[in-house]
Structure 1
């Protein structure tokens, strides 16, 4: 399609807690709006953080100890479904691009990480109503680094066991080969450039990284496009 002809209806950012989803979703919504494609940030949370705080107030260690595993998965699935439905409806009415901080894949990964696979079929039946985003970015980061980020922000807590299980769950999803996998390590600016490199149809302002150093130039390419930079993938419509 010619640049400007295709409408970017929705973009989703997924990944384990601490991978930078919220930061990058905010940045992407701002970048799209500045480029002339009005976008709105939507945080499609499942309520686990809120339930965790409630659990601590009543003397329970975490949300699962408060409502049980099945109760937690049920609450998460319903709240996230409602959040996504409201986000899509809002953008349908306003015509703005929906930048989704979390998507249905986050719920499937949560179900797998909790060991509640029998819930996944039911969740998929409910979430099947939603049209898939044009691009789904999976931000990957080492669970140990994600743990450090979470502890640094100081608003909640996740165990290394949970973060490792969630990272594995994302990799085992049947949708995994359709995700655009982006290295979430590095500075927010570096990660933003990696994401924008896959959206040049709507964000043409970032010049592509040079193919290689010129004569006598030994500096590494700018923009995080070094040896460890992920190869741009073709996003499915």
Structure 2
């Protein structure tokens, strides 16, 4: 696939959604074809699944993960893979690492089983780079007024999630870029843009890659 698949991860309140949106605008200014999406909810089916995941009162951890996997399969088949085949840059706010951190480290599900299910859902496609916005949960959770089902989990749950993210990053240092999310949005965006300039050059994607109609 000729495109570039970039994912953005982090605990609640880390600011990754804002940074993804800003980076998409910057990349488009460079003349690149960009697809900005999120998980769950990047497709019509995903929007319905998102409502269940974030606002359903209760569900077992296995059901929760399988709903994320259904969203992920539809997302990959109908949006992400086609964009990569067209040579576009895909920016995805959360991907498989979120499930490994939240349902694996947070809920205690077996990581090997999570990865086995994910292999089919993702078609084996991995992000080229994953940007992890690291932030203590005590700080991130204070940035919300209304909270969804996951954000209302106890502080200890969110601490396990953060630790899970950091362990995933240590296991794959060639894929993860860990950023200090206590910085200002402007500082974070400047770092991302500098990093992306080098990454785009390596991938052969530059200003001559024009936006698709």
TM-score by length of 2: 0.75
Please give the alpha-carbon distance, in whole angstroms, between the structure 2 residues aligned to 1:119 and 1:203: 34
Alignment of 1:34-45 (within 5 A): 34-45=29-40
TM-score by length of 1: 0.68
Q: Give the match's secondary structure for 2:178.
A: strand
Please give the alpha-carbon distance, in whole angstroms, between the structure 2 residues aligned to 1:145 and 1:74: 30
> What's the counterpart of residue 69 of structure 2?
77
Does 2:195 match 1:193?
Answer: no
- Check conservation: 1:44, 1:84, Cα contact below 8 A: no
- Check conservation: 1:137, 1:181, Cα contact below 8 A: yes
> What's the counterpart of residue 131 of structure 1?
125
Q: CA RMSD in A?
A: 2.8
Deviations 1:167-223 (A, max 9, x none): 01112227442301111122221211121221123789xxxxxxxxxxxxxxxxxxx
1:48 CA displacement: 5.8
Alignment of 1:1-237 (within 5 A): 9-45=4-40, 47=49, 50-55=52-57, 66-92=58-84, 94-112=86-104, 113-117=106-110, 119-127=113-121, 129-149=123-143, 151-152=144-145, 154-156=146-148, 157-159=151-153, 160-173=155-168, 175-178=171-174, 179-201=176-198
Q: Which segments of 5 or more consecutive residues in structure 2 lack a partner in the other structure?
A: 42-48, 204-213
- Check conservation: 1:13, 1:25, Cα contact below 8 A: yes
Aligned length: 188
With over 3 angstroms needed to count, the CA separation of the structure-2 counterparts of 1:89 and 1:8, relative to structure 1, is closer
Please give the alpha-carbon distance, in whole angstroms, between the structure 2 residues aligned to 1:139 and 1:171: 10
The structure with more helix, counted as a fraction of residues: 2
Higher relative contact order (CA 8 A, sep 6+): 2
With over 3 angstroms needed to count, the CA separation of the structure-2 counterparts of 1:88 and 1:171, relative to structure 1, is same
